Amino acid sequence: MSKKRNAEPPPKDAQLVQFESGEFKPLFVKSADIGRVVIGLSCKTMSNLRSDKKGPKFYMVGGTPYYKLVDLESYFGANPVETFNDERRYGNGNV
């Protein structure tokens, strides 16, 4: 029986690009262009994740890996970390 793998956390500095309303939002992203959509993520990182059978779902077309934008959004949005503003952390705004 195969061992279940835990999802690899995304790089700490990775951020999805926010598209403006009315702006063209691509359905698929070529692996080589991943850094234009997920800031701080390189195509080499995605290659490593693919070879380890980790990371978001991808599609091979003519030997080139592509990612659905919705799959990237769900993968990187799966483990949010809640943070608190300074006022709540230190109480009454006193630092």
In a domain, 84, yes or no: no
In a domain, 14, yes or no: no
The reported pLDDT for the residue numbered 73 is 86
Note the pLDDT tens digit of each residue in 42-91.
999 999 999 999 999 999 999 999 999 889 888 888 877 777 765 555 55
In a domain, 72, yes or no: yes
Determine the Cα–Cα distance for residues 10 and 71; give it in Å rounded to an integer: 13
Determine the Cα–Cα distance for residues 68 and 38; give it in Å rounded to an integer: 12
Is the pLDDT at 92 greater than 60? The verdict is no
Query: Structural domain tally of the chain?
Result: 1
Determine the Cα–Cα distance for residues 95 and 93; give it in Å rounded to an integer: 6
In a domain, 34, yes or no: yes
In a domain, 9, yes or no: no
pTM comes to: 0.60
80: which DSSP letter? -
The reported pLDDT for the residue numbered 88 is 58
Question: Which residue range(s) make up the domain with 42?
Answer: 25-79
In a domain, 70, yes or no: yes
In a domain, 44, yes or no: yes
